[in-house]
Amino acid sequence: MNKFFAGAFCLLLTAGFVACGDDSSSANNEESFKLAEGVIWQSSYGARAMTFFNPERTEDNFFTLEGDDGLWRLRSDTADGGKSTSSFDIDDSSMVVKFNNVYSSWKKNEQLDRYEPAIWPYSDLGMELAPERKVVDLSSWEGLCLVYESTTAFYIFPVNPELGQWHWRAEAPKTTDKKSVFQFKFADLKAIPWEDPPLTLQESLKKAQLLQFEVANENVEYSRWESCGSAEEPCTEDLVVEEVLRIYKMGKYGACGTSE
């Protein structure tokens, strides 16, 4: 779907992610804060996750210890001249992530003799795995689990922007059922279909820096592609595709329980 992905991830180190949240959580009572076994994020954790890759972060200093580990980040195509945005808010029970991908100007691809977006729209959410974006070894984990709702399918990637590694992914389905549980094993990650990964799955897991969430409404995107790509003139009107992902809990494989 996002054929601009390769170039997009190169921007992570320069103008890509924008930090959301800091080392405090005004929505939570820090005096009664407790880390749950195997849980990477739940609403009481605020704008920080427990990645388990910084042994210095404990219950006592979870909100006060400096460091990038566990911070949620937003990224969009604005650095490339696009109009897409992403945002998130945290309430008492969940994180509500809004992705707004904007198809705007189109250009002629002379080789294919058709029009295509001048900017392939993208907006996504990522989580830092370690301080100072150090490489971590995810291969020691069996996998991940998620309790969520989503208006569309979405992908979860372990990525390493410095190595151009964003090719292995799990696909979580669209669901309107409140607090659906999705879990996957890292051994079952699939490579994207349009490009050969620079690293094997095991190499990728051993050199991860971020966990990335990207929406995947391919029906809307390909419908737009077919109507505008085959047009006699380029499309000029904006198409805004908004999708909403609500995350209730994220954890190591098996730590999310069952659907309520």
Alpha carbon 12 to its chain centroid, in Å, reads 13
pTM: 0.85
Contact 234, 105 (CB under 8 A): yes
Q: Under a CB-based contact definition with an 8 Å cutoff, are residues 159 and 209 in contact? A: yes
- Smallest CA-to-CA distance from 2 within 221, 157, 181, 191 is with 221
Residue 31 pLDDT > 90, yes or no?
no
Residue 7 confidence (pLDDT) above 50: no
pLDDT tens digit sequence for 87-138: 999 999 999 999 999 998 899 999 989 999 998 899 999 999 999 999 999 9
Single-letter amino acid, residue 237: E
For the chain, what are the domain ranges? 5-252
| Per-residue pLDDT at 108 | 94
For the record, the structure tokens of 5 come out as 């992905």
Q: Is 238 left (phi over 0), alpha (psi -120 to 50) or beta?
A: beta
Buried-state track 13-45, b at ≥16 Cβ within 10 A, e below 16:
eeebbeebeebebeebeeeeeeeeeebbbbbbb
